[in-house]
Chains A and B, each alone.
Chain A
């Protein structure tokens, strides 16, 4: 898998390739690009909210379009593709197969993403990343809404194709000598998350079609003016997208399962407990979707059922945290950049989970729902946990992909800036939510506490921006001019620890 960039090849050779590392490289580059595009949007939002009154964005419509496209970009064009990048690089190697099971399908799944991204980016829909009707049916301007719907449709199909490929590669193509229990946890994470996609995504695909025909006036599934039920959409949407949050987080946990043992120079504390927690998460992921809907007027019994379903997912997540800490315990830890990101991500994962429990306790959700608390909650997950794991893993893969070393000192600076910025921004958002500020608002009244906290949140975002700028510079500079990496042990861990490109099973 090594040296894609060192052995210079014409770009088209990579683009038309179906080899898993080439497809992985395209996923990787695309997702990093999307991360910076989505990040630029976030910065615009935070500049606008720095103080009451119009700062940067002239009107609320542009603001609404920006937060919708920001969320859609980060989830579908950054996090999902970056996970696919890692899976493409490592899953075939970890199951000791020559490629993904269906290489052409794999390339097709990737190439569906850029056109979908263009639809989303050029359209700039304004209904939030969940497109709730009746707003999305009767109020959202065309053609942005249609472009978003088609874009998401394509992304959904791409995600299903990618998932089929992972499931078949892992279950059918793994080396006969390798029992499923010995398959590394990173590959297990792709197995679990792919199965969730296959079970969850078709529901959203159906909801999208219904939304489209509703908008065309052909049907009225979700339009109460003609007898439809807007709440039905929310059930369909969250039936897909609560499990989908696990689709995002599980590969990130899998990446941490690669990084933590290696940099602690110890084998993973318990492979069995990791597998058990992945399987548990994939099952209970489907028992909690309506915790997003406590405020839609559900009965007491419904709320209770979904609260229990939500809380049931917590022990499995907690087992992962235990597994990480127990692995690090007494380990000879080397705090190189990837390890810092992984450990920082675990700390924020724990904090985010505690906040999630508050959301799921129904009376407390009536304080936090649709306030900045929720924004803080899921950013601790999607950014603090998932993006942290992913960024750590990008550093970790860097020498294998480019044959060169990134600059360690700037990697550490990047981590410190982003970790500090994330704590400032996302914890303050939780508190701002407790003070009652709704999410998705373009402007806010001059309430002292809101003004101060919003300013602080924007400062945190700027600190992260500086960190991410350093990241970009480091990636570009080091892939051209970095020190050649010692590919037998790029991180100086002592050599007897498994590195992925050596195609050996980490557990002997």
Chain B
């Protein structure tokens, strides 16, 4: 390979080392966050043009608002009725596509009471920009 010399080798080695570090760390964290706690309550999330509806384990349904309890674990089962959407609670790094004919799961546990934005983060047409809902975390 021509006259490659030691500064270039060192440089490439440093880059590769950094990448290995990033990769390993990412693997570790993803492994941790994907481990769903046993007692997580299931919330069924359905996206459709252009609103979100939710169903709790006890059968209660909500549209455009989601009431959850602080320090409780929840597992979202996300799907869509029409086109792809993306269920996103940015403050809690909850983000997953809502795909018709498929159920995607992600869990989280809100550790702060208050109101948080739920939004659609996958382009889905006319009112995509306003496909929003509110997460209300209650202190109990």
Give chain A's interface residues, CB within 8 Å of chain B: 60-61, 64, 126-128, 132, 134-135, 138-139, 224-225, 229-231, 270-273, 276, 295-297, 300, 303-304, 307-308, 311, 314-315, 318-319, 322, 326, 357, 361-364, 366-367, 369-371, 435-436, 438-445
Binary contact track B68-94/A, C-beta < 8 Å → 1, others 0? 000000000000001110101011010
A273 touches B2 (CB 8 A): yes
Identify the stretch in B39-47, B55-63, B119-127 within 8 Å (CB) of chain A at 4 or more residues: B119-127
Residue of B nearest to A134 (CB): B83
B125 touches A139 (CB 8 A): yes
A439→B33 CA distance, assembly (Å): 25
A276→B82 CA distance, assembly (Å): 47
Does B104 reach chain A (CB closer than 8 Å)?
A: yes
Residues of A within 8 A of B130 (CB): 443
Residues of A within 8 A of B119 (CB): 436, 438
- How large, as a class, is the contact surface on chain B? 35 or more
A295→B97 CA distance, assembly (Å): 6
B5 to chain A, nearest CB (A): 8
A138→B120 CA distance, assembly (Å): 19
In the complex, which of the residues B25, B95, B102, B120 contacts A295, with contact meaning CB atoms closer than 8 Å? B95
In the complex, which of the residues B11, B83, B132 contacts A139, with contact meaning CB atoms closer than 8 Å? B83
Residues of A within 8 A of B123 (CB): 64, 127-128, 132, 135, 370, 439-440
A315 touches B22 (CB 8 A): no
A19→B110 CA distance, assembly (Å): 66
A370 to chain B, nearest CB (A): 4
In the complex, which of the residues A60, A229, A319, A367 contacts B126, with contact meaning CB atoms closer than 8 Å? A60
A364 touches B26 (CB 8 A): yes
Residues of B within 8 A of A126 (CB): 125
Residue of A nearest to B130 (CB): A443
A89 to chain B, nearest CB (A): 27
A303 touches B30 (CB 8 A): yes
A300→B31 CA distance, assembly (Å): 8
Interface of A (DSSP majority class): helix
Residue of B nearest to A132 (CB): B84
B8 touches A270 (CB 8 A): yes
B86 touches A370 (CB 8 A): yes
Does B138 reach chain A (CB closer than 8 Å)?
A: no
Residues of A within 8 A of B1 (CB): 270, 272-273, 276
CB contact list, B92-108 vs A, under 8 A: 93, 95-97, 99-102, 104-105
A295→B122 CA distance, assembly (Å): 10
A142 to chain B, nearest CB (A): 15
Known: A271-B2, A314-B15, A438-B120. A64 touches B125 (CB 8 A): yes
CB contact list, B1-57 vs A, under 8 A: 1-4, 7-8, 11-12, 15-16, 19, 22-23, 25-27, 29-31, 33-34, 49
Name the residue in B26, B34, B129 with the highest tally of chain A Cβ atoms < 10 Å from its Cβ.
B26
Does B117 reach chain A (CB closer than 8 Å)?
A: yes
B84 touches A135 (CB 8 A): yes
- 7 more A-B contacts (CB under 8 A) besides A64-B128, A224-B100, A315-B19? A60-B127, A270-B1, A295-B122, A297-B97, A308-B23, A367-B90, A435-B90
B49 touches A139 (CB 8 A): yes
Name the residue in A229, A307, A311, A435 with the highest tally of chain B Cβ atoms < 10 Å from its Cβ.
A311
B29 touches A369 (CB 8 A): no
Residues of B within 8 A of A308 (CB): 23
In the complex, which of the residues B8, B117, B122 contacts A322, with contact meaning CB atoms closer than 8 Å? B8
Residues of B within 8 A of A139 (CB): 49, 82-83, 125
A271→B3 CA distance, assembly (Å): 9
A363 touches B4 (CB 8 A): no
Known: A272-B3, A315-B12. A307 touches B117 (CB 8 A): no
A61 touches B33 (CB 8 A): no
A297 touches B124 (CB 8 A): no
B7 to chain A, nearest CB (A): 7
Residue of B nearest to A297 (CB): B104
Residues of A within 8 A of B15 (CB): 314-315, 318
A438 touches B100 (CB 8 A): no
B22 touches A436 (CB 8 A): no
Residues of A within 8 A of B101 (CB): 224, 229-230
A361 touches B83 (CB 8 A): no
A314→B125 CA distance, assembly (Å): 35
Residue of A nearest to B132 (CB): A445
Residues of A within 8 A of B122 (CB): 132, 295, 370
B8 touches A357 (CB 8 A): no
Residues of B within 8 A of A64 (CB): 123, 125-126, 128
In the complex, which of the residues B26, B124, B126, B132 contacts A362, with contact meaning CB atoms closer than 8 Å? B26
Residues of B within 8 A of A132 (CB): 84, 122-123
21 A–B pairs (Cβ distance < 8 Å), ordered by A: A60-B127, A64-B126, A64-B128, A132-B122, A132-B123, A224-B100, A230-B84, A270-B3, A295-B95, A295-B97, A297-B97, A297-B104, A315-B12, A318-B12, A363-B33, A367-B93, A369-B121, A370-B122, A371-B121, A439-B123, A440-B128
